[in-house]
Structure 1
Amino acid sequence: MEGNGNDAKGATKTSVVNGDGVTVKDCQKMIQKSLRSPMVKFLMENLEKCGCTIGDNFIKAVNCQQKVAGGYTRGGGIIVCSNHMNLQDEVDQVLIHELIHAYDDCTAKNLNWANCAHHACSEIRAGHLSGDCHFKRELLRGYMKLRGHEQDCVKRRVVKSVMTNPYCSETAAKDAMEAVWDTCYNDTRPFDRAP
C-alpha cells in the first residue's frame, strides 16, 4: 500500500488520502458492516481454513497519529484508523488489503517482513487483489492513464510502501519489486483469479 511502513515484526500500514474521519465507535460499526461484505467474509473464511487464529480483537478501530488508513501487525491483527476513515468503502478497502497481508503472513513459510522481497511480494498481492488500483480509485487520486493503469498503480504503491520499511532503501524497494513481480502478481491465492 502507498505509505505502508513495516518493521521486522510484520507491520504494514495503508496510506490515507483524505479526511478528519469518524469516531472510533462509528468506525467499529463500519468494520462490523465490512465483516458482512462478500470479499471480507471470503478472506476471513480462508484465513480460518488455513488455521490462522482470528480472535475477537483481530480487527479494531483506533485513532492513529500517523497519516495512514490502517495496518496489519503479526501477532497484533488489523487496525483501522478511524480518524482517517470517512466512507464505508474506505473501511472495506483497508480490511481487504490488510486481510491479504494477514493471509500471506499465515500461509507463507518463513515470511520475513524485514526482507524487502518478501514485503514487496505481499504488497504486490494486496495491491493487485484488493482493488486498491481500480480505475475509479486512480481517477480520484488524479491519475488518468487509460491503458496499463492497474499495474503502474500497484508498482507505484508497492515501491512507496516498501521504502518505508527501515530495511529497504528506494533502490532496494524497486529492485525487490522487480525481482518478485511476475511470481507475486500472478499469485491470486486464495482467489481462483484476480477479483
Structure 2
Amino acid sequence: MGDANLGSKPSPDAGGSPPPPISETMTVAECEDFIKESLRNPTVRFLKEHLEKSGCSIGTNFVRAVNCKERIAGRYVRGSGIDVCSNNLEFNDEVQQVIIHELIRAYDDCRANFDCNDCVHLTCSEIRANQLSGDCHYKRELLRGHVKSMKGHGQECVKRRTLQAVAGTPLCSKIAVKDAMEAVWDTCYNDTAPFDRAP
C-alpha cells in the first residue's frame, strides 16, 4: 500500500525527492499523546465511524506510533492498521494529517474490492486520500513551496503527491502510475465518500 509521504523521500513504499533534514522529531511517547489527541478530532471520528459502518472494526491499537526505517510520515497496513512514523514527524498537526490520510485509505480498502497488488487501485486510493485529507490545502502547499498560482494548485498537488507515493512501490513504475491516473482521475478525484463533498 502507498504511504503518507513527507514531501517526500523515496522508499520501497513511497516515491518522491528527499525532503530537507528534519531538525527535531518526536519520540514514540510524544507521538502516542498526539495520536490520542487526534482521535478526538471531528474528521478522524467521522472516518472511524464510517469504517465501522462499512463493516470494518477498529481496535484500540488500530493507530499506533512507531519508528520507521523509511522516510515516510505513515502507512496503512491491511489487517494491521495505521503506523504513524514518530521519528519522521515534528508537529501534532502532522500526526493528525497522517491519521486522516491513512483512514481514507483504510476506508477504501474496507468498502471496495480493493486489490493492494493493483497499481490502478493503489493510485485511485492515493488520489482520494490526497484530495480528501487536506494534504493539498493551499496553506500546506505554500509552506512546501509548491504554489505557483491559486488556480489549479489542488489538482496539481494531488497528482504530484500520488505519483510520489505510488511510483515508489515495487508494483508501479512512474509510467504505470501516470497511465493509471489518466484512466481513473475523474472517477477517483470526484469520489468524495464518505464525505458529502470534498472537505
Q: Compute the TM-score of the two structures, normalised by the length of structure 2.
A: 0.90
Displacement of 1:155 in angstroms is 0.4
- Give me the whole-angstrom Cα distance separating, in 2, the residues matched to 1:183 and 1:153: 17
Structure 2 partner of 1:145: 148
- Give me the whole-angstrom Cα distance separating, in 1, the residues matched to 2:50 and 2:193: 10
Displacement of 1:116 in angstroms is 1.1
2:68 matched to 1:78?
A: no
| 2:127 equivalent among 106, 124, 128 | 124
Q: Is 2:26–2:89's contact at 8 Å kept on the other side of the alignment?
A: yes
| 2:4 equivalent among 10, 14, 36 | 14
* AA matched with 1:117: V
1:176-191 equivalent positions in 2, closer than 5 A: 176-191=180-195
Displacement of 1:16 in angstroms is 1.9
- Give me the whole-angstrom Cα distance separating, in 2, the residues matched to 1:53 and 1:166: 29
Gaps of 5+ in 1: 1-10
Q: Is 1:114–1:165's contact at 8 Å kept on the other side of the alignment?
A: no
2:83 matched to 1:93?
A: no
Structure 2 partner of 1:156: 160
- Give me the whole-angstrom Cα distance separating, in 2, the residues matched to 1:124 and 1:65: 25
- After TM superposition, the runs of 4+ consecutive aligned structure 1 residues lying more than 6 A away are none
- Give me the whole-angstrom Cα distance separating, in 2, the residues matched to 1:114 and 1:135: 32
| More deviation, 92-101/52-61 | 52-61
Gaps of 5+ in 2: 8-20
Structure 2 partner of 1:59: 63
Q: What are the superposed Cα offsets for residues 157-184 of structure 1, whole Å, 9 maximum, x if unpaired?
A: 1111111121111111100011000000
- Cα RMSD for the two superposed structures: 1.0
* AA matched with 2:89: M
* AA matched with 1:121: C
Q: What are the superposed Cα offsets for residues 61-115 of structure 1, whole Å, 9 maximum, x if unpaired?
A: 0011110110001011000011112111101100000000000000002x11221
- Give me the whole-angstrom Cα distance separating, in 2, the residues matched to 1:25 and 1:165: 29
* AA matched with 1:101: R
Displacement of 1:144 in angstroms is 2.1
- Give me the whole-angstrom Cα distance separating, in 2, the residues matched to 1:76 and 1:177: 27
Q: Compute the TM-score of the two structures, normalised by the length of structure 1.
A: 0.91
- Give me the whole-angstrom Cα distance separating, in 1, the residues matched to 2:61 and 2:192: 27
